Structure 1
Amino acid sequence: MPRKPRIFIGVGGWTYEPWRGSFYPESLPQKRELEYMSRALTSIEINGTYYGSQKPESFIKWREETPEDFVFSVKGPRFATNRRVLAESGESIERFFGSGVLELKDKLGPINWQFMATKKFDAEDFAKFLALLPKEIGGRTIRNAIEVRHDSFRSPEFLALAREHGVAVVIAGDSEFPQIADVTADFVYARIMGTKEKPKIGYPAKTLDQWAERAQIWAEGDTPNDLETISPKAAKTPRDVFLYVISGFKEHNPHAAIALIERAEKKI
């Protein structure tokens, strides 16, 4: 039987000083923070890989400290995306995948290739970049997502390219960045950025209900009617969903993620 799609919900990283005492118990040793967070959430987006390479031993340690069904999404390196000519990113992409990230094994989720807000859509250059992203390495499927932050990407041509290469377009929720809610791959990757100091869980209950409902609709293979899309809807196919509570009032992000997990589980 086909595997049932899953909804993974989490935050960016696990090391953030204001979480100590507000999310982590004050008595918890810092070295056990990943262990603690991975039992409360179902995924984490690793951000450090955007700034520089990590050691293979680090990926092994993270894999071993987390539950069997836990998944990490990983930021691709800025050296690949912060370029004038993206077609020249091949060496940086190869170096990233050779750095040890595959040591996460079955806990390796999507790779998020994030672009600066100043990067504009150039069809020829982006086509060459997408062609550089591996779909499989050593028998392991690689899921790629691209996070674009310029209005020029609100284009049917860009979405057609993403679909052609099986790459997900990151959905920016509650943020200053353009929201592109079109489904272009066999999974959905969303980053919501609107947590505030009040209420204590970062979002009003109604907004959390909305995002949990959207995650369920994506998992069932459809597109939420309350999110604007640019191109025709993708075929209805069940999909894994990766949803991260990012930025905003970060101190509350783990609490918002937990509230989303509780709501999503009730709907599954």
Structure 2
Amino acid sequence: MATRDKQGTYPSNVHVGIGGWTFEPWRDNFYPAGLAHARELQYASRHLTAIEINSTYHGTQKRTSFVKWRDEAPDDFVFAVKANRFATNRRVLAEAGDSIARFIDSGIAELGKKLGPVVWQFAPTKQFDAEDFEAFLALLPASVEGVKLRHVLEVRHDSFLCDAYLKLARKYKAATVFTDSPKFPSMADLTADFVYARLMDSSAKQATGYGPKALTQWTERVRAWSDGKAPDDLPRVADTDGRLKAKEVYVFFINGAKERAPAAAQALLGKLGWQPTTDDTLGVPL
């Protein structure tokens, strides 16, 4: 099994990756020519430190799939899991109990220590309603089958850019997605003891999705978060995070010019001081 070469400067509380691992343009691009499709997760999980599973958003996955994914990834790899859309794409969030339970009980606990945060993504048209939103947050369990759960909220309407939302998210210890997409509201306010960033502004014109200057900026921001500090160049709702400091940082290059996502993630990992090592079990050079 491959091991990570953390070259002294890589912060061990940082996890960087992409959304999913099956995407045709990544073949003969990110993945070596001739690599069997069945081994793509093995390869990706040895060149990145995290993956956000997106298939769970569109439909219920088999428990055996989570077991397979867990066993194919290295011991220190992390899977974030996107919650099923039937729990969040509804008029009344307080009525999502059954959908939440079906998703939580579908087998995500099989990921064990490799289970990262669970992401609850809301539609861009979903506006902030404090009473209904709190009812939804109260439905999110703290654990499943003995595995602790951490929840992330991806809110996509400007009405969430308010102190009332921050107060609720902090009450329930749920993190808020930070995105650099001009399409959605962005707030770097901490609402939990970890950071979750989904970077969506990559360009097909850049080999690494983001140019050198942007990658340097993100490296500095990630290092600040990993040190428990707040980057001073990102938009916020409030002036302070109170006593909250990030203990872990999750960064995913996702959407945008998706074909560039693996290169962007690898470039950021490299600037943070991380490089993959060789694993001969795949039959291809890593």
- TM bucket, shorter chain: over 0.9
Distance 2:246 2:61 in 1: 33
**Residue type of the partner of 1:7?**
V
Alignment equivalent of 2:263, drawn from 248, 255, 261? 255
Distance 2:31 2:159 in 1: 41
Distance 2:258 2:211 in 1: 15
Say how many residue pairs are matched: 263
RMSD across aligned positions (CA): 1.3
User: Does 2:72 match 1:73?
Assistant: no
Local SS of the residue matching 2:273: helix
Alignment equivalent of 2:164, drawn from 153, 157, 160? 157
Matches within 5 A, 1:26-175: 26-175=33-182
Once the two structures are overlaid, the 10-residue window that deviates more, 198-207 or 78-87, is 198-207
Distance 1:33 1:215 in 2: 27
Distance 2:223 2:171 in 1: 25
Distance apart, 1:121 and its partner CA = 0.4
Q: Which residue of 1 aligns with 2:245?
A: 237
Q: Is there any run of 5+ residues in structure 2 with no aligned partner, and where?
A: 1-10, 275-286
Matches within 5 A, 1:7-26: 7-26=14-33
Distance apart, 1:216 and its partner CA = 1.2
Distance 2:239 2:233 in 1: 15
Local SS of the residue matching 1:39: coil
Distance 1:248 1:23 in 2: 17
Distance apart, 1:9 and its partner CA = 0.3
**Residue type of the partner of 1:80?**
A
Distance apart, 1:238 and its partner CA = 4.4
CA contact (8 A) 1:5 1:239 kept: no
Tell me which stretches of 4 or more aligned residues in structure 1 moved more than 3 Å: none
**Residue type of the partner of 2:250?**
F
TM superposition score normalised by structure 1: 0.95
Distance 2:206 2:131 in 1: 45
Q: Which residue of 2 aligns with 1:216?
A: 223
